[in-house]
């Protein structure tokens, strides 16, 4: 999660509870203040921790917020609803619900903005948030293949490229609707979106994208 001196055997060990308190305080501050008015001094105070403790563990505001927000998405689960379309609709709705929470909106977009000028930060976001949830796409596909809704995918490279496209489309559309358009991601929208997505994918998007 954050860098730790790997083999420090002596000295007082780092407080185990401090991490959790700091991340929770960060989310709390994001809700109340938003990213731009969040200050590390305030987070430290809320967490009942000295500023030095915070800086000892995270390099700055961005890294802290990424970790605080990433935890939010761990509660995403692929529902087993019997059909691919229903599975997708379920997970998209979950995703939208989390993204509608103010700590997610404020924090995630801000660090994405910062990441446009900081490759290490983008990598951290990708690792902590995106790749960690890509499991949902993979699991959904394999489940659909078992059900016979999707053909087995022989080429792993193509499979990976298609999974990325799906992730860009799902996450992008939900984020854009929520944050830019400012419209709710309700069941009707999700159903329409899922229909377009599945119909579009049926018949080999990957084939075309690969030429």
Partner DNA sequence: CTGTAAGCGAGACGGTACGTCTGGTCTTACC
Partner DNA sequence: GGTAAGACCAGACGTACCGTCTCGCTTACAG
Specify whether the CB–CB gap between 63 and 115 falls below 8 A. Answer: no
Neighbouring residues of 147: CB distance < 8 A, sequence distance ≥ 6: 83, 84
Tell me the CA distances in angstroms from 161 to 91, 126, 182, one per residue in order. Answer: 20, 16, 30
> Hunting for tokens 């490759």 — which residue is that?
119
Pick one of 6, 12, 75, 157: the residue that binds DNA (CB under 7 A): 12
Nearest distance from residue 44's CB to DNA, in Å? 8
Contact region with a second copy (CB under 8 A), list: 17-25, 68-76, 89-97, 119-127: 119-127
Q: How far is CA 43 from the centre of its chain?
A: 22
Pick one of 1, 2, 20, 48: the residue that binds DNA (CB under 7 A): 48
Does 130 interact with a second copy (rule: CB under 8 A)?
yes
Nearest to 179 by CA among 113, 91, 85, 82: 113
Does 13 interact with DNA (rule: CB under 7 A)?
yes
Which positions lie near a second copy, rule CB under 8 A? 34-36, 102, 105-106, 109-110, 112-117, 119, 122, 125-126, 130, 161, 164-165, 167-169, 171-177, 179-183, 188-189, 191-193, 195-203, 205-206, 208-211
């Amino acid at each position: 999660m954050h860098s730790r001196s790997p083999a420090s055997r002596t000295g007082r060990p780092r407080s185990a509870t401090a991490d959790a308190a700091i991340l929770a305080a960060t989310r709390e501050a994001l809700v109340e203040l938003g990213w731009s008015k969040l200050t590390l001094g305030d987070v430290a105070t809320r967490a009942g921790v000295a500023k030095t403790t915070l800086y000892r563990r995270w390099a700055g505001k961005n890294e802290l917020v990424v970790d605080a927000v990433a935890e939010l998405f761990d509660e995403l689960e692929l529902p087993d609803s019997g059909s691919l379309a229903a599975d997708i609709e379920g997970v998209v709705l979950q995703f939208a619900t989390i993204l509608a929470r103010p700590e997610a909106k404020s924090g995630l977009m801000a660090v994405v903005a910062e990441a446009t000028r900081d490759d290490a930060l983008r990598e951290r976001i990708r690792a902590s948030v995106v790749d960690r949830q890509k499991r949902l796409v993979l699991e959904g596909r394999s489940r659909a293949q078992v059900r016979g809704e999707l053909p087995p995918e022989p080429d792993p490279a193509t499979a990976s490229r298609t999974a990325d496209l799906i992730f860009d489309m799902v996450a992008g559309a939900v984020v854009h609707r929520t944050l830019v358009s400012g419209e709710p991601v309700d069941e009707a929208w999700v159903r329409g979106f899922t229909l377009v997505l599945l119909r579009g994918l049926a018949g080999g998007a990957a084939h075309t994208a690969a030429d």
